[in-house]
């Protein structure tokens, strides 16, 4: 089969396109899918770089988010048939595997998937929309809905709003009825965020987003529950971490699921206690998050912004767009 293979950690040149790579083998509890769409995530770049404390067996086919059609069914699998349209839940809850990281993933024509990781795609949901969901939108769903408890009374600040998790957080916050301030690093990103429903947008590379929040909602007051936003979403970490706190109203929730710009930022304990913040971490998703999202798309409540679709031969260019922060929404590779 054709596949994009990571033979060693390093730069983008470590992803190698192979026109004749070994086909996956179907175990008794597995199915083989023909991958129709694989969405990319920043995580693929972390895998390429190598992550501290995580040792991977290479070579590896990356691509955590895949949707496709079943072409072979293992002898012990029931309830699934050749031709079924499925989304892969990348987390193996019966093992320790992560599809596209610790086992081969979706940047290939074929993939092996344990049957307990299959989720049926409704007929009116495209493979590309389904493949956009697990890592970015599933994580956003858990962070905003389950952990964040965002609702119509909330004013939500989202940093990195133009990326995968960010657009998911924005769309979900709007579906939940909140007012949203979305931050991005270019006018093109701000225009797209406005189109997706953001009530206010800030180019934080041009202006200080803390001051912009104070202009919009007044400076948070330490004794009164007034001013600022009620929720700040920050999965970049780095030097925006303390700044997010300065935007938050007393009793506000600071939501995080990642640390793109640095996992050990300075913090300021004075804000946490005197403004009684609630810092809520959120990690990955449950199958119910993915089913809820598929349902929202099927019912027309949510439209996934897709930045572009690329063939396998151009997967490294597609990954470069993510690395260089040129992306608005999800990038799809269609093998």
Ligand X SMILES: NC(=O)c1ccc[n+]([C@@H]2O[C@H](COP(=O)([O-])OP(=O)(O)OC[C@H]3O[C@@H](n4cnc5c(N)ncnc54)[C@H](OP(=O)(O)O)[C@@H]3O)[C@@H](O)[C@H]2O)c1
Residues of this chain that interact with ligand X (CB under 6 A) are: 41-43, 135-136, 139, 160, 162-166, 184-185, 189, 235-236, 257-261, 283-284, 322, 325, 327
Furthest-apart CA atoms within the chain: distance in Å: 66
CB of 153 to ligand X, least distance (A): 26
Q: Quick one: 42 or 127, whose CB is closer to ligand X?
A: 42
DSSP secondary-structure letter at 60? B
Q: Quick one: 139 or 244, whose CB is closer to ligand X?
A: 139
Residue 158 — φ and ψ, nearest 5°? -120, 120
| Coil, helix or strand at residue 260 | coil
CB of 321 to ligand X, least distance (A): 9
CB of 117 to ligand X, least distance (A): 16
Burial group, residue 170, by CB count within 10 angstroms (0-12, 13-18, 19+): buried
CB of 8 to ligand X, least distance (A): 21
Please state, as a whole number, how many other Cβ atoms lie within 10 Å of the Cβ of residue 67: 28
Tell me the CA distances in angstroms from 252 to 82, 152, 274, one per residue in order.
49, 15, 11
Separation of alpha carbons 233 and 156, rounded Å: 7
CB of 152 to ligand X, least distance (A): 25
Q: Quick one: 65 or 179, whose CB is closer to ligand X?
A: 65
CB of 75 to ligand X, least distance (A): 33
With CB atoms as reference, the residue minimizing the distance to ligand X is: 163
Q: Quick one: 71 or 186, whose CB is closer to ligand X?
A: 186
Q: Quick one: 236 or 316, whose CB is closer to ligand X?
A: 236
Pairing of strands 118-120, 85-88: antiparallel
Q: Quick one: 134 or 227, whose CB is closer to ligand X?
A: 134
Q: Which residues of 98-121 are buried (b: 16+ CB within 10 A; e: fewer)?
A: bbbbbbbbbbbbbbbbbbebbbeb
């Amino acid at each position: 089969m054709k596949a994009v293979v990571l033979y060693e950690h390093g730069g983008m040149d470590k992803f190698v396109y192979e026109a004749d790579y070994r086909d996956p083998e179907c175990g008794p509890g597995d199915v083989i899918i023909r991958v129709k769409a694989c969405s990319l995530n920043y995580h693929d770049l972390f895998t390429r770089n190598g992550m501290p404390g995580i040792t991977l067996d290479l070579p590896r086919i990356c691509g955590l988010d895949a949707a496709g059609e079943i072409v072979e069914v293992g002898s012990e699998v029931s309830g699934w048939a050749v031709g079924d349209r499925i989304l892969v839940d990348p987390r193996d809850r019966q093992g320790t595997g992560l599809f596209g990281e610790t086992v081969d993933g979706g940047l290939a024509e074929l993939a092996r998937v344990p049957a307990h990781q299959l989720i049926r795609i409704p007929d009116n949901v495209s493979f590309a929309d389904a493949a956009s969901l697990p890592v970015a939108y599933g994580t956003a769903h858990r962070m905003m809905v389950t952990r964040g408890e965002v609702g119509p009374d909330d004013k939500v600040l989202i940093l990195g709003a133009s990326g995968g998790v960010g657009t998911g957080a924005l769309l979900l916050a709007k579906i939940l009825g909140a007012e949203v301030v979305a931050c991005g690093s270019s006018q093109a990103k701000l225009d797209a965020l406005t189109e997706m429903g953001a009530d206010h947008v800030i180019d934080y590379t041009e202006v200080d987003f803390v001051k912009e929040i104070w202009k919009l909602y007044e400076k948070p007051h330490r004794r009164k529950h007034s001013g600022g936003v009620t929720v700040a979403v920050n999965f970049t970490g780095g030097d925006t971490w303390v700044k997010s706190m300065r935007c938050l109203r007393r009793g506000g929730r600071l939501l995080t699921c990642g640390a793109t710009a640095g996992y050990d930022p300075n913090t300021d304990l004075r804000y946490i206690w005197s403004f009684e913040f609630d810092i809520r971490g959120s990690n990955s998703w449950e199958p119910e998050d993915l089913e809820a999202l598929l349902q929202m798309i099927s019912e027309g409540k949510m439209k996934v912004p897709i930045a572009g679709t690329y063939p396998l031969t151009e997967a490294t260019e597609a990954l470069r767009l993510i690395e260089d922060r040129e992306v608005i929404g999800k990038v799809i590779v269609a093998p």
